Structure 1
């Protein structure tokens, strides 16, 4: 349950534009220049990341948002493996109702976000460890 809640909070923080981060030492993320858009408007973004030093109580998540014009969408996130090695990531995002993206130019922002428990009114804290922004081409799935 904690992981599902943490994943939702990480995705929400990215969608709401919780700020631009620079890479902390030992953390890096990159976004591929091509993303795939399916017939149902689901967008699949991808890239690579590297991180070190995550623990069970303070997991690190890979999150991404896709912006086209004034519309920005965010979707899945995945827990990162923080072993210092380079890993691939792939995430899906989908608009809702009439709010969806189309094939063409877009911008993808990828983030490594650490979720840490804390005391107080808001029981968790998000820490942006790395960010990347990339102009991409949304290409139809084929």
Structure 2
């Protein structure tokens, strides 16, 4: 292999390593997510997490989703947020867990992680893999609505 080809191969490998080692909290391809500093428990016991996100159109063989996870006192509850619209605009996301799946979430301190995920579909439109493209983790205060 010529010296020029070897240098180009080394540069390409370095660039690929740099692209694929983006920290989990960073945004990728102009996509991002944030978590609001408060979560709520409704009178009926349902848990609500929220934040904002922005993303570009998913690949033609993919779809986008938001997964929110609340961690409190050693237990975890993961729930999905509604429809994700990827048009580059910053939008609100809200994730609700009905009372019967709320687990042990209670008023007080908790940690919430919001993940913007791209679902890669196979040619028959079945999910093939899920990749987190943006993530945010925040300490939040869970309030009970009165």
- Please classify the TM superposition score into its range, dividing by the shorter chain length: 0.7 to 0.9
Change (3 A) 1:22 1:138: same
Which deviates more, 122-131 or 66-75?
122-131
Change (3 A) 1:115 1:134: same
Greater share of helix: 2
1:1-16 to 2 correspondences below 5 Å: none
1:75 partnered with 2:79:
yes
Change (3 A) 1:23 1:96: same
Aligned residue pairs total 121
1:88-99 to 2 correspondences below 5 Å: 88-94=92-98, 99=103
1:42 partnered with 2:41:
no
Cα deviation for residue 48 of structure 1 reads 0.3
Q: Detail structure 1 runs of 4+ shifted over 4 Å in the superposition.
A: 94-98
Structure 2 unpaired stretches of 5+: 1-23
- For residue 5 of structure 1, what is the aligned residue in structure 2? none
Structure 1 unpaired stretches of 5+: 1-19
TM-score, normalisation: structure 2: 0.73
Cα deviation for residue 123 of structure 1 reads 5.1
The answer as to whether partners of 1:33 and 1:137 remain within 8 angstroms in 2 is yes
Cα deviation for residue 133 of structure 1 reads 0.2
